[in-house]
Chain A
C-alpha cells in the first residue's frame, strides 16, 4: 500500500497561470465537451429504432470512451489554467469525479431512496410507516420465501464448500489435476439461464410408460422406480433440486480458492504429521482444515451472500411456482407483477440488512489497511 503523501509535480515546469484568452478557450472546451456528451446521449436514445445495432454499438463505444477521455482532458486543461493552489485542489476531483458521480447516482443515492420508498404505499403517494415491513415478515408467501432462502443458504453453501474442499484435496493428489479443475470450474462461465436449460433437461419428466428423455427420470425408471416431476410436485424437497444447480455452478469457485490455499500449506508440516504416524483423515481434519480456516470462512461468506441473492435459477426453472419463491423473486413479483414500489423497496432493504454485517466486516478490514489509517 502506497504511503499517500501526494507525489507533487515539480514546480518549475508549469507554475504559470494561463492567459485570459487561454482560460476562455479552456472553459469553452470544457463546456463543448459536456454538450457533446449530452447530445451523444440524446442521439443514442432517439436513434435506437432506426440505426443498425452494430453501428450504434460502435457509436456507443466512441461516445462512452471518447466522451470520458475528452471530459478528463478538457477538465484537466481547464484546471491547468489556474494557479498552483487551485490546480492541485481541483485535480483529484477531475480524476475521481466521474466515477463518484456514477456511483452516487446508481448505488449510493438509490440505497437512500429505496429506504425512503419502503415507508410509502404502492405508488409512493401515502406514508404508511412500517406497514411494508410488517407485510414482508408476516405474509405467507414471504415467509415461504424466507424458508426457501434458508434452504438455499444452508444446503447450497455447505454443498459448495464441502464439494469444493473434497475436490481440491483429491485434485491435489491426482494425475490429471488441471483437467479435473477445468471441468469442475467450467460451469462458472455459463449463465444461470443456460444452466437452467441444462438442468431442466436433466430433470425433464414424461408420464410413466413413455420414453424418459430426462437423464434423472431415465435412471430412476431403469432402476425400477416411478418417474417424478422433480422441480414441481414434491414440495418442499423440489427446492433441493434447484439448489443442486447452484452447487453445480459455484463449487468450481470454492474449489479454485481452496486449491490454492492447500498448495500454500508448507510441506514440512504435512511431513511432520506423517512421521508422527498421522493417517490421511487425521492430516485432513487436524492440519489441512485448521490451516485454511480463514479461507474457508471467506468462501463460505461469499457463497452465503450469493445464495441470499439467488434469482435467475428460480426464475428460469419454476418462476417461483410450486412453493419455490425466494426473496429476490418476491421482490421482482412485487415490483413488476403488482407494481408495488413500497413493498418491493422494503424487500430490497431486508436484503441489505441481512448483508450489512459483511459490509461492516469489509470496512473494518479496510481500516486495517495501511493507507487508510
Chain B
C-alpha cells in the first residue's frame, strides 16, 4: 500500500504518515506480545528450578529490584512476641506485626522475620537481581519418569513418563497419516477420472460427511471395537483416525487430481498404460503438493488429538499418547508446574518444528482442513 501516491504532500502530511505508521506498528507489536507471552511463560518456567517456580513468577528472570537478604540478626530465644521487640544492633523497637509485614528502615533497608520461632530477623537490601538459575532437571524428570530426591537417589515418579508417551504419539500418528492418504488418493482418482453407477451419490455422501461431528461415530465404533477386542490398542486408533480423516482427504485430493491436465492422462492411455499404472506413475507424483498439505494437516491433527485417543486408548498407561498423559498430569498434579511446563513443551515440540520449517504447506493444509469434524 505504501506504493500508492499520496494526494497531498508537505511536512504535516509526512508527519501524519509517520504517526500512522507508528500507530500501526505499535498496536501490532503490542498484540503480538500479548499473543506470545503465555507460551514464553511456559517455555521459561520449564527450565527453572522447581522450588523457584513456586516461589516467584517466571518474569523474575528479567532484571528487577527485589529485597535481598544481606544480614541476619539473632535475638535471644526467649524474647516474648506479645511485647515490643527491641533490636539492639539497629537501636530500634518493633512489634511482632511490623516484623511480619516487613519494616523499612530510614536507610531504605527492610527488616523482617526470617524465622519467628528461632527469633532470627533478616535484614534485606533492595537490589537489582534476576533469577536465572536455569536447569534441565524438569526435562530429565518428565522424559524418564524419575525424579532425583534430596539424597541423590532416583525415584519413580508415576504418570510422568513423557519419553514413552512421545514414542506412543509417533506410533499413533505415522500410520494414522499414511494409511488414509493412500486410500484417499486411489478413491480421489476413481471419482475424478472414472465413471460408474453410484459415483455421484457416493461423492455427495463424502462431502456431507466432511463436517459431521466425530461424536456421532464414537458410540457405534466403540461397540464394534469391543466386539473385535481392539479397544485400548494402537490398531483401534489407527483405524479410527483413518476413517475420520478420509472424507477430508478424499475431497482435497479429488479437487486436486480432477484439475490435472487431461492431455497428460490421455497420452498415457494412448501409450497403452492401464489406469493402475497411470495412477502410480503419473497421478501420484503430480499430486505431491496436495498429498503433502493433507499429510501435514492430518499428522498434526492426530498428534494434537485428545478425544479419539481418550476414547479408544483409554487409561492404559503403557499406550498413552502425549495429550492424554499431559491432561492426566493436569488432573493429578496440577500444582507441579515444573513437570507440567516441561511436559507441555515436549508435547508442543514436534508441531512447532513442523510449523516453523514447513510453514507454507502447514498453512495450506490447515486452511483446507479447518472444517474437519
Residues of A within 8 A of B (CB): 1-10, 13-14, 41, 44-45, 48-49, 53-54, 56-57, 60-61, 64-65, 68-69, 72-73, 76, 80, 89, 91-96, 98-100, 102-103, 105-111, 113-114, 117, 163, 166-167, 170-176, 179-180, 182-194, 196-202, 204, 211-215, 218, 248, 251, 253, 256-257, 267, 270-271, 274-275, 280, 302, 305-306, 309, 311-312, 315-316, 319, 328, 331-332, 335-336, 341, 344-345, 347-349, 351-352, 355, 358-359, 362-363, 366, 371-372
Contact = CB atoms under 8 A, between A and B. Distances in A.
B306 A312 contact: yes
A99 B186 contact: yes
Nearest to B354: A189
B185 to A, nearest CB: 9
A325 to B, nearest CB: 14
A253 B366 contact: yes
A328 B318 CA distance: 27
A196 B323 CA distance: 11
B191 A96 contact: yes
Contacts of B168: 53
Contacts of A204: 337
B45 interface: yes
A307 to B, nearest CB: 12
25 contacts: A5-B195, A7-B265, A9-B269, A57-B171, A57-B234, A99-B183, A105-B224, A106-B240, A114-B220, A170-B31, A173-B24, A174-B28, A180-B32, A187-B39, A193-B306, A193-B327, A196-B330, A201-B45, A256-B367, A257-B367, A270-B4, A302-B370, A332-B307, A355-B211, A371-B258
A329 to B, nearest CB: 10
Nearest to B343: A197
Interface residues of A, dominant DSSP: helix
B38 A201 contact: yes
Which of A9, A107, A174, A188 has the most chain B CB atoms inside 10 A of its CB? A107
B207 A363 contact: yes
B298 interface: no
Contacts of B216: 107, 110-111, 114, 348-349, 351-352
Nearest to B181: A65
Contacts of A174: 24-25, 28
Interface in B337-373: 337, 340-341, 343-344, 347-348, 351-352, 354-356, 359, 362-363, 366-367, 370-371, 373
A348 to B, nearest CB: 4
A267 B64 CA distance: 48
Contacts of A117: 219-220
A188 B238 CA distance: 23
Nearest to B203: A372
7 closest cross-chain pairs (CB), A and B: A106-B243, A95-B190, A191-B304, A99-B187, A92-B196, A110-B217, A13-B272
B351 A72 contact: no
B228 interface: yes
Nearest to A186: B355
